[in-house]
Amino acid sequence: QVLHRPRGVGAKHPDDGIYLMAADISSVQGDKTKVDVWRPTWGYAHISESFEQWVKGSSNRCPDLR
């Protein structure tokens, strides 16, 4: 779970944060898996790119979220 917690003046967000990425992962046929990813169209691309590399099976460390 990746959460964004804005700290700017007047920033109001849900108690559990704002989601930067969501993924729906499901089995479709035998050894096949379907992955749908939703993310912002700007910023935080390194998070979804890292996730995509993990899905493809390449060795990749978690992105630095700070």
At 41 the pLDDT is: 78
Is the pLDDT at 66 greater than 60, yes or no?
A: no
pTM: 0.58
* Chain segment 2-50, per-residue pLDDT in tens: 566 666 656 666 677 677 788 898 999 888 889 898 888 777 788 888 8
At 6 the pLDDT is: 61
At 59 the pLDDT is: 61
Is the pLDDT at 52 greater than 70, yes or no?
A: yes
For the residues of 1-66, what is the DSSP string, one character each? --EE---STT----TT-EES-EEEEEEEETTEEEEEEE--SSS-HHHHHHHHHHHTT---PPPP--
